Amino acid sequence: MKAVVFDYGGVISCLPEDSVWEEIASLGCIDVAALHTFAGQLRGEYDRGTFSCEEYYRKVLKCAGVPPESLPPARIIEMAAFDEKAWSHINPDTVRLMEDVKKAGYRLGILSNMAQRFLSQIRAEYPSVFSMPDLSVFSCELRLIKPEKAIYEALLERLKCEAPDVVFFDDVPINVEKARDLGIKAYVWRTAEAARATLRDLGVMV
């Protein structure tokens, strides 16, 4: 193994609490199930950089049958703010694992679907976390998203590694599946402890 790569959302960051989605749904006058359905369908293009967070929530509302213009503009801004804050809680156990990977002499990377404004915010909030990797590949900067093949190819090119020499952790199974299709040793993220055990099984002594 030459490189270990981590996703951001749900891996480096903690997953948002259910109460966050309940609050966003309440602000938008929609139910939580509709929020999850339509937000999930549109999230990829938001992370690609096709539209802003406020535009994203206007589209979610429209799909859910709520005309965006029926809500005060400040309400949609508040929905976007709740969303961005929800993903800003870093998992300290993951950070420790990243530090140990780096100390052990392996190349460290981040591969994440992430919108530009949020990326700028989180980089400013956690400079030590985002300066630690040897390289980072973000969807908004390449206009590519997981699980598209091209974003994994970009990762390998920047790592200057062959696919079998790379370990990748992501909490979304389809992203793991598509990475494996290219020969990357990819695993669905459970916990930092489980990931550490997986790395040791692969000979990465962390």
The CATH number of the domain holding residue 103 is: 3.40.50.1000
Residue 54 included in any domain: yes
Q: Please say which residue of 86, 111, 139 terminates a domain.
A: 86
Pair 68, 167 in one domain: no
Residues of the chain with pLDDT under 70: none
Pair 76, 95 in one domain: no
Pair 141, 183 in one domain: yes
Q: What is the pTM of this model?
A: 0.95
Pair 123, 178 in one domain: yes
Its domain, for residue 116, covers 3-14+89-201
Q: Please say which residue of 60, 86, 112 terminates a domain.
A: 86
Q: Phi and psi of 4, rounded to 5°?
A: -125, 130
Pair 176, 111 in one domain: yes
Residue 206 included in any domain: no
Nearest-Å Rg of the Cα atoms of the chain is 18
Residue 67 included in any domain: yes
**pLDDT at residue number 145:** 98
**pLDDT at residue number 178:** 98
Residue 132 included in any domain: yes
Q: How far is residue 88's CA from residue 121's CA, in Å, rounded to a whole number?
A: 9
Pair 37, 74 in one domain: yes
What region, left, alpha or beta, does residue 22 occupy, with left being phi > 0 and alpha being psi -120 to 50 degrees?
A: alpha
Pair 66, 156 in one domain: no
Pair 45, 97 in one domain: no
Q: How many domains does the chain have?
A: 2
pLDDT digits (tens, 9 = 90+) for 53-111: 999 999 999 999 999 999 999 999 999 999 999 999 999 999 999 999 999 999 999 99
**pLDDT at residue number 112:** 98
**pLDDT at residue number 25:** 97
Pair 74, 112 in one domain: no
Q: Please say which residue of 64, 86, 108 terminates a domain.
A: 86
Pair 93, 180 in one domain: yes
The string over 10-28, giving b where at least 16 C-beta atoms fall within 10 Å of a residue's C-beta and e elsewhere, is: bbbbbebeeeebebbbebb
**pLDDT at residue number 90:** 97
**pLDDT at residue number 59:** 97
Q: How far is residue 55's CA from residue 164's CA, in Å, rounded to a whole number?
A: 39
Pair 69, 112 in one domain: no
Pair 172, 76 in one domain: no
